[in-house]
A and B are shown apart, each in its own frame.
Chain A
Amino acid sequence: MTGFPILSLITFLPLLGAFLVLTIRGDAALVARNARFVALWASGVTFVMSLFLWIGFDTTTAEFQFQDRMEWMPAFKISYHLGVDGISMLFVLLSTLLTPICILASWESIKVRVKEYMVAFLVMETMMVGMFSALDIILFYVFFEGVLIPMFLIIGVWGGPRRVYAAFKFFLFTLVGSVLMLLAILAMYFVAGTASIPELMRFGFPTGMQTWLWLAFLASFAVKLPMWPVHTWLPDAHVEAPTAGSVILAGVLLKFGAYGFLRFSLPMFPDATVAFTPLIYALSIIAVIYTSLVALAQEDMKKLIAYSSVAHMGFVTVGTFTLTVQGIEGAIFQSLSHGIVSGALFLVVGVVYDRVHSREIATYEGLVHRMPAYGLVFMLFMLASVGLPGTSGFIGEILILVGAFQANTWVAALTATGLVLGAIYMLYLYRRVVFGKLTKEDLKKLLDLSPREMAVFAPLIVLVFVMGIYPGPFLDVMHVSVDNLINSIEVARAGAGNVALVGR
């Protein structure tokens, strides 16, 4: 490491902000105002700091960079160890980018208990960044699971009418998966005698054990991702969460699962990964086709986007398990792109929800006549979600499909139907909400996007186009790490005397 603990700083700066927000006292309106500003500053500074990660990032090595290491529980050889590589670095940036945007998006829509809300968001940012950069498996679990607390409160306190049900479902579903993963983590820790993730990656677990460990990790990541059939918590959580909660949920929390596969399942259990690839393919294809059809039938805008998330994450799992450079890079790219696009789509819904307080598609019609700018923004993100060339969604999906075609033509062909279905439900949604005649009286008084809302969307729009038109810098960051990942899997598989069936 280089001396300056920048990664720790990025991780714990939001926590410091949360502490500052907690200490604000005084008259209610003033407290709310100050809490908003402190939270925005804390998360904004964190984002700027995290940009230095990218600037200082060495794209020629697959080693972990910016490592920070300290003794934590020496009796157990568990340490506080952070670091990022090409796979995790962009996820850290995604978290630090979306948090200030969420805080800005909640500026006016959150009116009660603003202070607690901001504290919850800042604590969550610490957990998210920590999760993506933890290099000690116990530390990883602490962050991974710790996210539940702020998210549970955000859904439960500031959510919609069925918030209690949604919050409990979210919490308990995730917890069931995670505790099984915890046991697997403990088993790995015991067998390998270390909690360090880089060492565990090199350890090489016995094949028989890999199967069980892989399944335990699947239990956790499949719920988080979510994969069919354990995705049912997601629509509820998304619908009931406040807008910014949905953004973080879709933008970052779902990526925990994708990241988990790449960080743990693939490098640590290569044999089991290959053995279970057909299962993942099957579940992913079901997710892509089935949830796309379900999305088509939704009457609630947030629910529709939630189901579309399940379908898009199905693409990510297909790409990840092709074990090809294109597939995995596509999966990471698609994760990032989905984080931005689906987050933005929830914000788009949030804009009209703040004005009309309804998420029903039937409530809306012809919004373009009153809100032209809104119609444009909505269209951009809708097309990005569909995967139109020129937007970030296209790059991710095309890379995944290229990878999938190398691995298995049928899988690729079936997955590709998701593109068509995605276009159908998104265009259908857009037609119903934005086009048509504006006849409803209450919609005729709507105002177009405010400058604050413009500020929320502007960085996301820029990113969608930059990632879509010039994806090079993003792919460069991950390329060496992904190559190294695939090589290590092949070496491990060859070492196990089982060279057949590597899907490339």
Chain B
Amino acid sequence: MPIASLPNPIPVLPELFLAGVAMALLLLGVFQKAGGKGDDVRSSRLISVLGVITLILTLLLVMTVARGGAVSTFGGMFVTDAFAVYLKVFVLIASALSLVIAEDYLEHQNSARFEYAVLILLATLGMMLMVSANNLISLYVGLELQSLALYVVAAFQRHDLRSTEAGLKYFVLGALASGMLLYGASLVYGFAGTTDFTALATLFAKGQAGAPALGLVIGIVFILVGLAFKVSAVPFHMWTPDVYEGAPTPVTAFFSVAPKLAAVGLLVRVMIGPFGELADQWQQIVVFISIASMALGGFVAINQRNIKRMMAYSSIGHVGYALIGLAVGNQVGVRGILIYMAIYIFMNLGVFTCILCMRRGGAMVEDIDDLAGLSKTHPMLALALAIFMFSMAGIPPLAGFFSKLYIFLAAIEAGLYALAVIGVLTSVVAAYYYLRIIKVMYFDDVTDALDKPVRREIGLVIFGTSAVILLFFLLPGPLLDGAGAAAAALFTG
């Protein structure tokens, strides 16, 4: 019966919807009037608005589909469980917000094209596939769909030397990482005989006797390296500062949140799911990566003058903290990661939206010193940025404190005291450079005032994200429960 052999489409409905709409929007964009003055801007605006609506609809679809509980389809290649749903919700929120804040910038830089929104949609689709992947093959397909779209948006300002350089660099190094991942996956397949996560997990659970085959361990290490590149953890972080600095600011904002969230989610799923039983083999690697990321992110960021570069190192550091949760490797640790990343995307998007407001005489400026005296010229913007910075430094009662709290709680519970002590001490180092931004804004005198923020939607995003960060402590329950359920799904299912 041909009908019976069709896979169950309900769990993939959001992805199918997103894919269909993305292609339809591409067609719609192509058939828009082009060539004339203002045509590009008009079509870009249209597609961008439709893109945001699409993402919101997809979000609703994800929530609706989630009611069904954990379901897998396409022969076990694709799974929809609470873990995937949690990540998808925040990926979609992050993508939608990034799209909202991008339009203004692109129009100012004369690079408004409708393809931007379509590429973001496709990258988002790739991320959704990544976090739902339950097989090394579907993992790779999702990852590549995401990466290819990202390579293009990194070089989106094709007349700008830095942007094209960033795109090329990201592409070359990203391809290398994908190659490593693929090589590792093939090694795992060669030694285990399957690429299915569930099958791998049962295989390792049974084969308790003796150490796993060497080839298998090497394969896992290669997969870990490939994914560490994607989350920009030390020592695979080299591309991050250059790409963050060179890429157009809204693209950097997007890079620092949605793909990072998806990649961290994927890393957690792969390490805990199929390779969870082999934790002894990879735990020390994760511990090392985590310490190195926290330390490098803390120390190197101190000397940065460019705020986008500083944020790049800051994001490396943040990944280090999140990886503490993976090093712990239990349900509490995963819950910590999920809470951490959710709060992180709001903080980071907020900061980058503030950076998008750094414009003087119509041109973007990116030096930290350009913020001098911001509290006098733009009190609300400075207040928002100060909230984000204190939060990133992990000072209560802001949300960033709680995200670190749950991570360190997991580390202490698991007895990883050294890791926890190093973690908190590097957070003090990191606090120094976050405070420096506040110092420049509040303690220094105005040298040259920035332009007033222009667009309403940017102001709204800043207001919304800073409100989330500032008031998180009032109502932490829903996020904690959601993350708890998501982490539980990974360990039971």
Contacts and interface: CB of A to CB of B under 8 A. Distances in A.
Interface of A: 72-76, 116, 138, 141-143, 145-146, 148-149, 152-153, 156-157, 163-164, 167-168, 171-172, 175-176, 179-180, 182-183, 186-187, 189-190
A168 B396 CA distance: 17
A187 B414 CA distance: 10
Contacts of B453: none
Contacts of A168: 432, 435, 439
In this complex, the member of B396, B408, B412 whose beta carbon has the largest number of chain A beta carbons within 10 angstroms is: B396
Contacts of A148: 395
B425 interface: yes
23 contacts: A72-B476, A73-B480, A75-B481, A75-B484, A138-B405, A142-B401, A145-B401, A148-B395, A149-B390, A153-B438, A156-B438, A156-B439, A157-B443, A168-B439, A172-B432, A175-B395, A175-B428, A179-B424, A180-B421, A183-B421, A183-B424, A186-B405, A187-B412
Interface of chain B, main secondary structure:
helix
Interface in B452-493: 473, 476-477, 480-481, 484
B364 to A, nearest CB: 27
Contacts of B100: none
Nearest to B408: A186
B397 interface: yes
A176 B425 contact: yes
B409 A190 contact: yes
Nearest to B409: A186
B480 A75 contact: yes
Contact of A179 (B409, B413, B428, B435): B428
B431 interface: yes
A179 B321 CA distance: 14
Contacts of A72: 476
Contacts of B421: 180, 183
**6 closest cross-chain pairs (CB), A and B:** A179-B424, A142-B396, A186-B412, A156-B443, A75-B480, A190-B413
B55 interface: no
B427 interface: yes
Contacts of A190: 409, 412-413
A171 B429 CA distance: 11
Given A171-B431, A176-B425, A179-B428, A74 B477 contact: yes
Nearest to B442: A157
Contacts of A163: 443
A190 B408 CA distance: 11
Contacts of B401: 142, 145
Contact of B428 (A74, A75, A153, A172): A172
A146 B428 contact: no
Nearest to A142: B396
A189 B395 CA distance: 20
Contacts of A176: 425, 428
Interface of B: 375, 390, 395-397, 401, 405, 408-409, 412-413, 417, 420-421, 424-425, 427-428, 431-432, 435, 438-439, 442-443, 473, 476-477, 480-481, 484
In this complex, the member of B401, B435, B477, B484 whose beta carbon has the largest number of chain A beta carbons within 10 angstroms is: B435
A180 B424 contact: yes
A182 B425 CA distance: 11
Contact of B439 (A142, A167, A183, A187): A167
B424 A146 contact: no
B480 A76 contact: yes
Contacts of A75: 477, 480-481, 484
A208 to B, nearest CB: 13
B473 A142 contact: yes
Nearest to A153: B442
Contacts of B412: 183, 186-187, 190
Contacts of B484: 75
A175 B442 contact: no
Given A152-B435, A157-B442, A73 B396 contact: no
Contacts of A164: 439, 443
Nearest to B484: A75
Nearest to A212: B417
A175 B431 contact: yes
Contacts of B473: 142
A73 B481 CA distance: 9
A148 B398 CA distance: 12
Nearest to B480: A75
Given A164-B443, A182-B408, A182-B424, A171 B435 contact: yes
A146 B396 contact: yes
B435 A73 contact: no
A381 B226 CA distance: 68
A124 B481 CA distance: 31
